[in-house]
Structure 1
């Protein structure tokens, strides 16, 4: 303590010397400003007198020019008696005016420029001399673009060109000396604003703040030194501290009209001395009780706020506010009440906002916001006082809610026209951080208690609801304030989205996110706000990625029998996301112009197709996952291909206008190949002996695949272009499906062998293709048919003759022979048409 006291005394001495130095520098700065203003006024008067002399010199030149023009007109033969008399009168009047003007110019006293060159004003004098030379320089003669009326007369005898009057610009009345002084002063102020005066900042601002701090410390050291020397007792020391503060406050009152900044620094230092004196008197001298010391500090804070209003200085109000937050800790003891502290903070913040609204000081809410939540975090969370005390938990959560509403009050400050752009951004940051800190702080309070509301998700939804109310009020009751309205909308969406994972399980989270993304997309089409578009894109992306990850890694196990088919959370999650994707695609399709213009996140061209693709894929995953988990293995194996074919057929029929065959022909061909491969794998794989249920599902799949193939081929063949290229492809695909169907037919009748059936089915397919090729006059189809007949004959010679049973040989040979004879007859009959 002795070391601290000696150091404080030394600093006090330095502060006193610093204050004296600051006063001297301030006076010198005022003298310099006065000299500068005097120089500007002298320069303005000198420029105005020079302009008058210059205008007087121009008038005789105009009179001489008029006289020469009149003589030129006389030479052209237009000398009438009336014109001669007028010319003489004009000449007389002009000579009279010339004599008067010259006389006035002679009577003007000469201007004597008396100036004292100092290092501070030398640069200014040089710039003024350059400006004076520029203004008094002779203006070059500029002929008029439009010739006067006399110039339109016939040429003179001597072929002389008539003189033209000099061009006269827009008549500008010379500025008065007062106006020019004002203009020069404004120009000087603009130059001062553009360039930062570091000397002024250091001399007036920085040194003053450092000086006040050092002075306060010096007072403390002096008091400590007096205590060590036993000069004064405890009461006298305290009285001396208050006396020093009063003297500083009185000096600030005396100087505040002439030295605004310096007086504010003195006033702030005075209240700092008050706080330090009360703190020492309470902690070291025990002159005040805790209640008395706290009341004194509160009165000091209130008085300082009043002084800040009188001086109209925001920094004093900020100092008072900081002192108000420090006051409880100055008089704190180990037996302090957390409820009393939060009550005091609530009252202090309400008073702060009243002062901020009255004086339109936006800095006060920012300071209060920072100090309030720092104090709450240090005194509540870090102190661990919430454990096993439900009553205190409820009160602390109630105060947290109160502070949340208090720090939503800057909305009113933002709505005021006087709010600057910089302050607007700072207050918007306070409003945004307020909700997140309240959620974090309230979540910690809830987590450390046994409340009936033990989920922070409810708190997040509550914050979203409050922001929604503010948004609706700004949307329907207040015009303008687009940034504030969009911020409230974004906060509503953010906290509603955050509350979902805090309150619900995994599958429910994805369901709500997907639904919310569709709702935001619809709002975007109505409000045209980018916030809705970006929020919808983010939520849709999160729901798709996390649901896919959940489906791959944590899907329901085969042994789970607690749920039923289509009545479980996984199916509802995937099915909801699928429906949401379809709805989003339809919304984009109906608002195609909106999503097609400009550079935006959800552009129509890729996003609409992606939405439909996600819808179909997630719909397949929903049914496939349930079939795999809740059906027998063989039935699930056949139900999945049926689901695939059904979804693709439904999509092709429903979206035939959106995805036209002419535009997406390659995609339809790939789809046709994919369905054919899936169908062949389904029928050709598996066991030879199959149950009735499996065979039924396979026949249903066959009918769906045949319908889908027929629809695509019909649409593709309806296009006249590229028909010849597609016909052989369709012929081969149809043959493969025909052979697979024949295989299924034999399995249905319990015949797993397909040796004889292959030759018969392929020969029949080749015969049918030949009939179609002849009827449609398609050489390509006929060539495919001939190739298939060649395969059948090759198999017959190389394999069937040697390995096939007798009955099989009889059937194959007779059937194939009849087919070949029939084809030969048809070729002979239609040779004139085909060739």
Structure 2
């Protein structure tokens, strides 16, 4: 190795040592830095565990420590309003609903819950905290125990709760002192107001000074100072008349603006709520009963615009909710108690439209710009805003001479507005499809309502059924259970509303004064019924379509019962819709038939009421027969089949008991000459009898078809046979009486009935032996026994000798024939096997 090589080697070794020294110095610096951090940490809390864990920097540990331990925070995720009750529930390990219930009791019985809730809302922080970025190289620090609950509670009370209570007590103390000074004239009114303003300014100045270091405490002081300013200004104007109305109004507007600015600066929503409540209170506190509603509503519209912009900018949706409720509450209160249609028509309609559009735009802005998901509360807000406006507008126009003729146009304008919004959302794909479906559904609802509204229809019923069909459609087609749940109470409301409409429209003849004459079937009331049926028919279609399955749990059982209920509503509505039209038509005819002969004589055509009963029974038989054939040929539902058979039997019995009696009344009217002097009596009084017999036969025939249907699986058919034979003997007896009365016989109820019953009993014996039907033979014996009882206790008393001879001989021969048949076919009778 030469001299130069040796020098180069020394340089390399020197460079290596320098690099090692640099690395060593860096490591020493890091160890010194870590030692300083550990010493600083030990000053706050001693190390209790030796286990080392990987953590971010000490600064980040301190910032996230409050979030990791179990502290008192507002639970905004499960909040009902501000998340206070949910946060207390999490803190103490209680169910949040139990905490809410206890809080309501505290509010109702002690009056403290509301104020304490507001204080906690301002004081308690949200559960979500700001995260800090850790340094790249984590260091090892000792793990610490969570702080005890008692320390957390003490900290919360000392740092947050006491100052709220203190400011409230301070305001109460000022009020008590002011009251005492007023009652004892210790201080002049002007001095009182000045001192109050000075106190408010003092609190405001203190809050500004403390904002940098004690922001929460400063926010409480600002709220208290603004409350003092509001009420002192009101007192100076109202009680002492120290300030003119215009200046008072300007001051309160300034206070409101300042409160909103403070809310933005502090980022405290509760301060904005104080400003909102104060802003709405201004016109009422300063009212001089001048009745200038235009100024009031203009002021409210301006305030709403500012507040809603603030709510959108800071994403403080509770401000939107409070503004929504207060605005419509104030408007509706004014409309109910102070509205005068001759003076306030334009003002009422204009500002109802402004408020509706303002809240509608705000709702859409949240959904389209903020990209919020669509929730249940959104449905409630949208529907409430739409239908409160429509209901108010409807009442305003309906009470106006010209507006009454524009109800249909007003309804179409509502539909057009929603249509424009739905088209914009659809074309630009701005929001959740569920929002589009709901608004598009509103378009259909209002278009559907426009026709009956213009025809003076009962629009409330259509409103309910339209909403129900819309929500059910969205729930099924988009698999959103909440929509389907919301549709069920609306279905019930729609059904009850329709039945209530019927009770008001289709009244009985003894209440009907003839003032409302409607054309059967071609009237708005019946059109409402048709639309109701169409709405529920649409629901039934979705319910039974295989593509649209319900997203509700336990869907099989639920779907079955829903199908039954909806089907029952449709069937009953179809039946009663035509039923009431027929009844109302005959009631109208009856009222028109009333004749006043003189002061003491008044006639009415009672035959119309008899015809009404007959035609209603004929319609009922047509309806149950048609329902039977539809079920037999297409539906083939076992449950509907059993129900239908029961309805068929009820209709047949109703005709036997009531229909035949009304037919006999028509026959008596036809034979009586007195009514024919005033009303036309025709042969139709008799012909209607045989028309009704035809439909009775059809009803019995379709009932027999049910017995042969395989899907209904009836194993015991005796009941139908009994009903058929009872119907036959009843009709034959009625027809015999009818023919004998028309022929002028006076013994139709005696001689003729006894012989006919005996002959029919013989017929039943023969048929029972031939068909091997035991119940027919037993029925024949029972009928013959009834005939003999009638013979000995009724006929024998009133009949002449010749007639008695004929009856006794005839019945005796019949009995002998029956006995002969029993003896001849006794072997086959003993071997009968009943079906």
User: TM-score scaled by structure 1?
Assistant: 0.58
- The one-character-per-residue Cα deviations of 1:469-527 (angstroms, maximum 9, x if unpaired) are 87898899566697x8999899999999999999986x745874686488458636556
Tell me: CA distance 1:672–1:587, structure 2 relative to 1, closer, same or farther (3 Å): farther
Whether 2:346 is the aligned partner of 1:346: answer: no
Structure 1 residue 260 displacement after superposition: 0.7
CA–CA separation in structure 2 for the residues paired with 1:771 and 1:726: 19
Q: Is the 8 A contact 1:555 1:570 kept in 2?
A: no
Q: Is the 8 A contact 2:167 2:220 kept in 1?
A: yes
- The one-character-per-residue Cα deviations of 1:643-695 (angstroms, maximum 9, x if unpaired) are 34333333333334335798456665555544443454345555455552021
1:272-287 matches, within 5 Å, as none
Tell me: CA distance 1:629–1:540, structure 2 relative to 1, closer, same or farther (3 Å): same
CA–CA separation in structure 1 for the residues paired with 2:798 and 2:397: 85
Tell me: CA distance 1:562–1:274, structure 2 relative to 1, closer, same or farther (3 Å): closer
Select the residue among 592, 610, 614 that pairs with 1:637: 610
Q: Is the 8 A contact 2:160 2:217 kept in 1?
A: no
**3-state secondary structure, aligned to 2:212:** coil
Select the residue among 641, 646, 653 that pairs with 2:629: 653
Tell me: CA distance 1:486–1:189, structure 2 relative to 1, closer, same or farther (3 Å): farther
**3-state secondary structure, aligned to 1:655:** helix
Tell me: CA distance 1:633–1:576, structure 2 relative to 1, closer, same or farther (3 Å): farther
**3-state secondary structure, aligned to 2:304:** helix
Equivalence for 1:622: 581
Q: Is the 8 A contact 2:529 2:577 kept in 1?
A: yes
- The one-character-per-residue Cα deviations of 1:684-739 (angstroms, maximum 9, x if unpaired) are 55545555202111011112222322443464488784356765564444333333
Tell me: CA distance 1:210–1:674, structure 2 relative to 1, closer, same or farther (3 Å): same
Tell me: CA distance 1:207–1:464, structure 2 relative to 1, closer, same or farther (3 Å): farther
CA–CA separation in structure 1 for the residues paired with 2:291 and 2:706: 84
Q: Is the 8 A contact 2:543 2:559 kept in 1?
A: no
Between 1 and 2, higher relative CO (CA 8 Å, sep ≥ 6) is seen in 1
CA–CA separation in structure 2 for the residues paired with 1:757 and 1:699: 21
Select the residue among 653, 667, 677 that pairs with 2:657: 677
Equivalence for 1:399: 351
Tell me: CA distance 1:530–1:468, structure 2 relative to 1, closer, same or farther (3 Å): farther
Select the residue among 732, 744, 763 that pairs with 1:738: 732
- The one-character-per-residue Cα deviations of 1:433-468 (angstroms, maximum 9, x if unpaired) are 766876788789779987746999998997788678
Tell me: CA distance 1:539–1:336, structure 2 relative to 1, closer, same or farther (3 Å): closer
Tell me: CA distance 1:547–1:378, structure 2 relative to 1, closer, same or farther (3 Å): closer
Equivalence for 2:491: 536
CA–CA separation in structure 2 for the residues paired with 1:779 and 1:243: 108
- The one-character-per-residue Cα deviations of 1:35-81 (angstroms, maximum 9, x if unpaired) are xx999745866335x3479xxxxxxxxxxxxxxxxxxxxxxxxxxxx
Q: Is the 8 A contact 1:767 1:785 kept in 2?
A: yes
Equivalence for 1:60: none
**3-state secondary structure, aligned to 2:48:** helix
Tell me: CA distance 1:516–1:621, structure 2 relative to 1, closer, same or farther (3 Å): same
- The one-character-per-residue Cα deviations of 1:187-229 (angstroms, maximum 9, x if unpaired) are 449887788933433433332465589789999999xxxx999
Structure 1 residue 535 displacement after superposition: 0.4
Q: Is the 8 A contact 1:742 1:757 kept in 2?
A: yes
CA–CA separation in structure 1 for the residues paired with 2:282 and 2:514: 65
Q: Is the 8 A contact 1:456 1:502 kept in 2?
A: yes
Equivalence for 1:781: 776
**3-state secondary structure, aligned to 1:178:** strand
Structure 1 residue 361 displacement after superposition: 2.8
Q: Is the 8 A contact 2:273 2:319 kept in 1?
A: yes
Whether 2:213 is the aligned partner of 1:258: answer: yes
**3-state secondary structure, aligned to 2:47:** helix
Equivalence for 1:47: 48
- The one-character-per-residue Cα deviations of 1:734-774 (angstroms, maximum 9, x if unpaired) are 33333334444445666564355435543543454344334
- In structure 2, stretches of 5+ residues that fail to align are 1-37, 54-137, 591-604, 672-681
Select the residue among 276, 296, 316 that pairs with 1:361: 316
CA–CA separation in structure 2 for the residues paired with 1:685 and 1:379: 60
Q: Is the 8 A contact 1:400 1:442 kept in 2?
A: yes
Q: Is the 8 A contact 1:574 1:622 kept in 2?
A: no
CA–CA separation in structure 1 for the residues paired with 2:464 and 2:284: 50
Q: Is the 8 A contact 1:457 1:503 kept in 2?
A: yes
Tell me: CA distance 1:46–1:522, structure 2 relative to 1, closer, same or farther (3 Å): closer
Tell me: CA distance 1:531–1:458, structure 2 relative to 1, closer, same or farther (3 Å): farther
**3-state secondary structure, aligned to 2:637:** coil
Matched residue count:
656
Tell me: CA distance 1:261–1:531, structure 2 relative to 1, closer, same or farther (3 Å): same
1:231-310 matches, within 5 Å, as 252-267=207-222, 302=257, 305-310=260-265
Tell me: CA distance 1:667–1:464, structure 2 relative to 1, closer, same or farther (3 Å): same
Deviates more, 1:434-443 or 1:495-504: 495-504
Equivalence for 2:103: none
**3-state secondary structure, aligned to 1:681:** helix
Q: Is the 8 A contact 2:461 2:497 kept in 1?
A: no
1:384-463 matches, within 5 Å, as 389=343, 393-395=345-347, 397-408=349-360, 411=363, 415=367, 452=403
CA–CA separation in structure 1 for the residues paired with 2:571 and 2:626: 12
The higher radius of gyration belongs to 1
Q: Is the 8 A contact 1:304 1:317 kept in 2?
A: yes
Equivalence for 2:674: none
User: TM-score scaled by structure 2?
Assistant: 0.58
CA–CA separation in structure 2 for the residues paired with 1:642 and 1:810: 39
CA–CA separation in structure 2 for the residues paired with 1:545 and 1:387: 29
CA–CA separation in structure 2 for the residues paired with 1:558 and 1:278: 62
- The one-character-per-residue Cα deviations of 1:793-813 (angstroms, maximum 9, x if unpaired) are 898899689946979978997
- The one-character-per-residue Cα deviations of 1:403-448 (angstroms, maximum 9, x if unpaired) are 3333445536865999999xx9999988787668767887897799
CA–CA separation in structure 2 for the residues paired with 1:492 and 1:340: 33
Equivalence for 1:172: none
Tell me: CA distance 1:511–1:353, structure 2 relative to 1, closer, same or farther (3 Å): closer
CA–CA separation in structure 1 for the residues paired with 2:359 and 2:516: 51
Equivalence for 1:694: 685
**3-state secondary structure, aligned to 1:696:** helix
CA–CA separation in structure 2 for the residues paired with 1:271 and 1:319: 8
1:160-179 matches, within 5 Å, as 178=141
**3-state secondary structure, aligned to 2:213:** coil
Tell me: CA distance 1:560–1:732, structure 2 relative to 1, closer, same or farther (3 Å): same
CA–CA separation in structure 1 for the residues paired with 2:239 and 2:828: 127
CA–CA separation in structure 1 for the residues paired with 2:153 and 2:369: 25
- In structure 1, stretches of 5+ residues that fail to align are 1-36, 54-174
